[in-house]
Structure 1
Amino acid sequence: MNNSRRVLLKSGASLGLAWMFAARPLKAIAATGIPQNEFKAPVPFSFDLLEEEARRLAQYSYEPPVNPSPGVLAEIDYDQTQRIRYRTDRTVRVGNADHYPVQFFHLNKYASDPVRISVVEGGQAREVIYNHDLFEIPVGHPAEGLRAGAGFAGFRIMADDLKTDWFAAIGASYFRSSGPFNQYGLSARGIAINTAMSKPEEFPRFKHYWLEASPEPDGGINVYALLDGPSIAGAYCMKTKRKTEPDGSYRVVMEIEARLHMRADVDRIGIAPFSSMFWYGEDTHLEPRDWRPEIHDSDGLAVLTGNGERIWRPIINPPHVMTNTFSDRDPRGFGLLQRDRNFDHYLDDGIFYEKRPSVWVEPLDPWGEGAVHLIELPTDTETWDNIVACWVPKEKAKSGQRRVFRYRLSWLDDIPFPKTLGQTIGTWSGIGGPPGLNFNARPAGTRKFVIDFAGEIFEGLGRDSGVELVVNCSRGSISGIATYPVVGQRHRWRAMFDLKVAGLDPIDLRAYLRKGDAALTETWLYQVFPASV
């Protein structure tokens, strides 16, 4: 897992479930890689018991994690963390299945709140005890001063050859997958509390994980987690599978059930949140910032609304924090996607932005009224995640409530898309007016937008087929509307228009192609800041 361009967030720990299992019978658990004496005694485990612990926690005030040996961890900076290696011969084979090898992350300066990790087999859980022997630690390294039993920063699920990982959980409630092309990008997390509000955001954390080989015939690994934070406690079950696609890429599918118990009222609770990075793209690289043409982990938000409308909103790097909401009832899906898979559009042969995974969320139950929130923060670097997307229920979370959310989260190349609609494959803009005019002859305060759509829906359609562009703006005026098939490109259609604006307030644009009363494409949305026109 490459963390060189991501700041590690903090994780944590607490007492877990031992209090409620003391009188239950114990049973030995088999796990390869770690000697049996480096596990705690087995205790019964189930998802229902985990929820009982979350319910119990929610009845009491939040207790922040205790940082073990803070002086020692303060010395384990990025460089010192890179010197620590997990021993391959200590790899835990969950369920004795070779395709579920698990290794652990060492605590460090940036991930200093200890996480507990247990292995489950046959309804019994045994916690792994932190020990120096699990890691290759150089002589004289600060980590030698960390006591046994201190805990871990997180864990990762390895590929069969133990050379790479395809799933990792570290920091707060964050987790992510390397997706279809073995390249990490955006991150998911268990919950978002008061994101992009005037009050401080809260970062609940997964304090204890339980790992279990799935009993289902088609396999998978079940990741259970206990969430704890100032306003919330929760029990999570994440049934995780990695599938190989016919083209050799991978699809990681997680069926997640979150049983939440509220400690306090929360103004904004974000369900199925994930964070990504967008510095600039094809439409926003207005001046040289870096030699690479585009730099982003995701290039757009896709939404499949409850009534079946498909929306595509290209991500932007705004001049100030912006929150856009897409109101809906019982959404069918939403996600942050990396649609542009062309290496030549990025030219980065070190971290391969064209290989970053897309993430798609599909509710498994009706979620009722609410909105997909897209939060965009300004950035001048690729180091920080500055994009957040999540579902925010209309009903606010109240103290004492139990709320359950079930959804499927897929890490994939691209989402399934109907052949009856065209997809947005590119957005560009520039100076308005007819091309070829002298710059001083161009109309003032006008910006031209060009959108390319692609899909089999355009087969057999030409300039005289009655295809029209429907475009609206929240303010300003639209002119110069044109749409036509791109010369020499099969199934590719271009739409363009000019936007004339005055004033400084943001402008929302909405456009799609239609023929008669039938939409030919998904709905393209965009936000314009007049200062850049």
Structure 2
Amino acid sequence: MKSRSTLLAAVLLAALVLIGLRLIPGWGGFEPSAVVHESTTNASEPRNSPFADALQGPPPSPEAVGRELAGWLADGREGLPPLLLDRARTPPPAEGSALAPALEAALGELGYDDYRRIEYRREASLWRDGGPFRLQFFHPGSIHTDQVRIHAVEGDRVERVRFTPELYQYWGDEDLSAALEGVDLDFAGLRINHPLNHPELWDEVAVFLGASYFRLLGRGHVYGISGRGVAVHTTRGGREEFPGFREFWVLRPDEGVNTGGSGDSGALEAPSGLHLFALLDGASVTGAYRFHLIPGSPTTMEVDAHLFVQRPVEQLGLAPLTSMFLTGPATAPGVDDFRPRIHDSDGLLTLSGEGEWVWRPLSNGPGDRVTSIPVTEPRGFGLAQRDRDFSNYLDLEARYHDRPSLWVEMLEGDWGTGHVELLELETDSEFADNIVAFWEPEGGAGAGEEFRVRYRLHTFDGRLEAQHLPQVEETRIGSARLPGVAPSGEVDARRFVVDFHRADGESPPDLEGVEVVYRASSGQVSDVRAELLPNGVGWRATFVLTPDPGEPSELGLFLRRGGEPLTETWAYRWIPDPRDASSDR
């Protein structure tokens, strides 16, 4: 299947999760890593761009771009400034010296243990002298050989952040440190630290590393789900591409830390946040980005992206999210593991312009699945980790119960008519990011087209603040037969159980006037009923599906009262499992 290139990249991502494995001061999370990708353009050579005629003279210098950015923010202007857009339309050849082949090979061949021993010196953090943020930078090497140039902007001063071996501790590899002296290198990515959980601990709040991947943390979270700048040909079209951020400008805030703290945690705030601007470079798509990061509970990051299509793209993915789902209660038994659940996210949530919330639990097989989910006048979508109960994971190291959920609030721009594309790759490893979701505009994109979108990312726990309807907390599937009773027909009927929990503070549930509204694209549905859950937490909807032999079925249901939705909508694609004669899926 075409999408297997995504899984290959994700497996390499997961391998480096292990490379980056270390406790983070304050809460014991994991240092993130990102997908290795094959370069899709030679940055050292000019390209044939359909936008070349729009440029008058040479591309603007990084210093000129940085000064314009500072003035742009000082004036309180929205959007992306002209010089940054000019530099994105036709990216200039990469600057800097080419590495000697032997040194380039030495960095690329760094193994697990060697790369892990290269540690950034905390005392070398940029902006350590004051303010609400500190920056650290990833060493190039191992699977992260593509270099990213980073500029720090303070007022009207724009300076390239220079790589030097003195920024790192090379535990046991002093020869590499010596070989890198005086070499014109850039970084693999950057890490943003902030007193997120405690005023005296500088926790990681965001990381940009590998292609266009990034990760965000809210208060109390550990790394899980990733965001991405853009997706190209993920489930169809030509060979999948991974455009990458190749240049950043990070603007130092002029504010001090708010020492009043936030809530009960005593953690500090940065009310105006941190602004970053970036250039994206790829063979088919280039672009300019503005990121506005505000840490907290939730952490939010507003993204303003302007994309330039350099050559025809059959499938363009906007605001992509990447996650992992190995096993959960709705999946077939067979994973030999003491942990009941193993996943970074357990479902996809969408919101339409009519206010319909739809929850689709994630799956891991049988086979790879691609689902195109139409959403009328979309307002947002996201991948969520709803179950926050440690007893349902039992993993003290991975802390899956503390993984963040991530919501894309679609604000404005060229989203167009389209759908949410969901890719679920079958995997047997928790170290493979096998889930991808993004908005896909209809019709692809032609060379010379431009797309501008603005959206806001929100970290959250089990419930999005804007979601007030009772939401799905459990999906369970099993045989409709009683234990010990032999099948009575050609196929085994399946019992579905869907539990909806009300939001805190909402009225206790009752059954008066409640009806179950359901649909099934194939098979026969019977024994449909609604029941109350114990302790007033919500409702249970349950039904039996007798499937058509060998046929999948698209299922959906919600509870209604008085003609109005009482709950969000549950959606699920049931697929007969060829690995199990009883189709226990």
| Common fold: TM-score over 0.5 | yes
- Counterpart in the other structure of 2:60: 20
CA distance in 2, matches of 1:78, 1:300: 32
Residue 225 in structure 1 maps to residue 278 in structure 2: yes
Displacement of 1:491 after TM fit? Answer: 3.1
Residue 415 in structure 1 maps to residue 415 in structure 2: no
CA spacing shift, 1:297–1:380, aligned 2, 3 Å: same
CA spacing shift, 1:108–1:442, aligned 2, 3 Å: farther
Residue 134 in structure 1 maps to residue 167 in structure 2: yes
Please, which of 156, 162, 171 is the counterpart of residue 191 of structure 2?
156
TM-score w.r.t. length of structure 1: 0.87
- Counterpart in the other structure of 2:266: none
- Counterpart in the other structure of 2:239: 200
Contact 1:429 1:448 in 2 (8 A): yes
- Counterpart in the other structure of 1:427: 475
CA distance in 2, matches of 1:498, 1:440: 17
Displacement of 1:286 after TM fit? Answer: 1.5
Equivalent residue of 2:522, what SS?
A: coil
- Counterpart in the other structure of 2:580: none
Residue 3 in structure 1 maps to residue 3 in structure 2: no
- Counterpart in the other structure of 2:539: 493
Displacement of 1:192 after TM fit? Answer: 0.2
Residue 354 in structure 1 maps to residue 401 in structure 2: yes
- Counterpart in the other structure of 1:42: none
Displacement of 1:67 after TM fit? Answer: 6.8
CA distance in 1, matches of 2:399, 2:332: 18
Equivalent residue of 1:270, what SS?
A: strand
Displacement of 1:327 after TM fit? Answer: 1.5
- Counterpart in the other structure of 2:229: 190
- Counterpart in the other structure of 1:93: 127
CA spacing shift, 1:321–1:285, aligned 2, 3 Å: closer
- Counterpart in the other structure of 2:258: none
Amino acid paired to 1:334? F
Please, which of 545, 555, 564 is the counterpart of residue 509 of structure 1?
555
Displacement of 1:403 after TM fit? Answer: 1.5
Amino acid paired to 1:134? L
CA spacing shift, 1:67–1:374, aligned 2, 3 Å: farther
Contact 1:119 1:211 in 2 (8 A): yes
Contact 2:233 2:316 in 1 (8 A): yes
- Counterpart in the other structure of 1:338: 385
Displacement of 1:391 after TM fit? Answer: 0.5
CA distance in 2, matches of 1:472, 1:23: 59
Displacement of 1:353 after TM fit? Answer: 0.3
Residue 49 in structure 1 maps to residue 83 in structure 2: yes
Contact 1:47 1:235 in 2 (8 A): no
Displacement of 1:146 after TM fit? Answer: 3.0
Residue 526 in structure 1 maps to residue 572 in structure 2: yes
Equivalent residue of 1:159, what SS?
A: strand
Map of 1:367-382 to 2, 5 A cutoff?
A: 367-382=415-430
Displacement of 1:215 after TM fit? Answer: 6.2
CA spacing shift, 1:110–1:477, aligned 2, 3 Å: same
CA distance in 2, matches of 1:22, 1:418: 43
What does the per-residue CA deviation read over 1:300-340, in whole Å, with 9 as the maximum and x for residues that have no partner? 00000122111000011122221111213431110000000
Map of 1:399-414 to 2, 5 A cutoff?
A: 399-413=447-461, 414=463
CA distance in 2, matches of 1:136, 1:165: 19
Displacement of 1:143 after TM fit? Answer: 3.0
- Counterpart in the other structure of 2:135: 102
TM-score w.r.t. length of structure 2: 0.79
Contact 2:412 2:454 in 1 (8 A): yes
Equivalent residue of 1:240, what SS?
A: strand
CA distance in 1, matches of 2:126, 2:63: 28
- Counterpart in the other structure of 1:397: 445
CA distance in 1, matches of 2:363, 2:201: 37
CA spacing shift, 1:440–1:204, aligned 2, 3 Å: same
CA spacing shift, 1:424–1:480, aligned 2, 3 Å: same
Amino acid paired to 2:60? M
Please, which of 263, 274, 278 is the counterpart of residue 310 of structure 2?
263
Equivalent residue of 2:330, what SS?
A: coil
CA distance in 1, matches of 2:58, 2:36: 24
What does the per-residue CA deviation read over 1:7-31, in whole Å, with 9 as the maximum and x for residues that have no partner? 743478958999523996999xxxx
Displacement of 1:290 after TM fit? Answer: 1.4
Contact 1:66 1:113 in 2 (8 A): no
Equivalent residue of 2:375, what SS?
A: strand
Amino acid paired to 2:476? W
Contact 2:33 2:209 in 1 (8 A): no
CA distance in 1, matches of 2:88, 2:82: 10
Please, which of 357, 364, 375 is the counterpart of residue 317 of structure 1?
364
- Counterpart in the other structure of 1:38: none
Deviates more, 1:452-461 or 1:259-268: 452-461
- Counterpart in the other structure of 1:82: 116
What residue ranges of structure 1 are gaps of 5+ in the alignment? 28-45, 244-249
CA spacing shift, 1:174–1:200, aligned 2, 3 Å: same
Please, which of 182, 196, 206 is the counterpart of residue 167 of structure 1?
206
CA distance in 2, matches of 1:441, 1:221: 61
Contact 2:43 2:93 in 1 (8 A): no
Displacement of 1:274 after TM fit? Answer: 1.0
Displacement of 1:139 after TM fit? Answer: 5.0
Report the count of equivalent residues: 501
- Counterpart in the other structure of 1:234: 287
Please, which of 230, 248, 261 is the counterpart of residue 209 of structure 1?
248
Contact 2:65 2:83 in 1 (8 A): no
Amino acid paired to 1:143? L
CA distance in 2, matches of 1:432, 1:377: 28
- Counterpart in the other structure of 1:112: 145
- Counterpart in the other structure of 2:261: none
What does the per-residue CA deviation read over 1:197-232, in whole Å, with 9 as the maximum and x for residues that have no partner? 253210000011111134689321111111000001
CA distance in 1, matches of 2:367, 2:282: 29
What does the per-residue CA deviation read over 1:405-439, in whole Å, with 9 as the maximum and x for residues that have no partner? 111111222312443x2111110011114xx4533
Map of 1:292-311 to 2, 5 A cutoff?
A: 292-311=339-358
Percent identical residues: 35
What residue ranges of structure 2 are gaps of 5+ in the alignment? 1-13, 22-31, 47-56, 68-79, 256-269, 578-582
Deviates more, 1:393-402 or 1:129-138: 393-402
CA distance in 1, matches of 2:322, 2:35: 13
CA distance in 1, matches of 2:155, 2:81: 13
CA spacing shift, 1:329–1:215, aligned 2, 3 Å: farther
Equivalent residue of 1:350, what SS?
A: coil
CA distance in 2, matches of 1:503, 1:62: 58
Displacement of 1:442 after TM fit? Answer: 6.2
CA distance in 1, matches of 2:520, 2:122: 58
Residue 72 in structure 1 maps to residue 92 in structure 2: no
- Counterpart in the other structure of 1:37: none
CA distance in 2, matches of 1:209, 1:84: 23
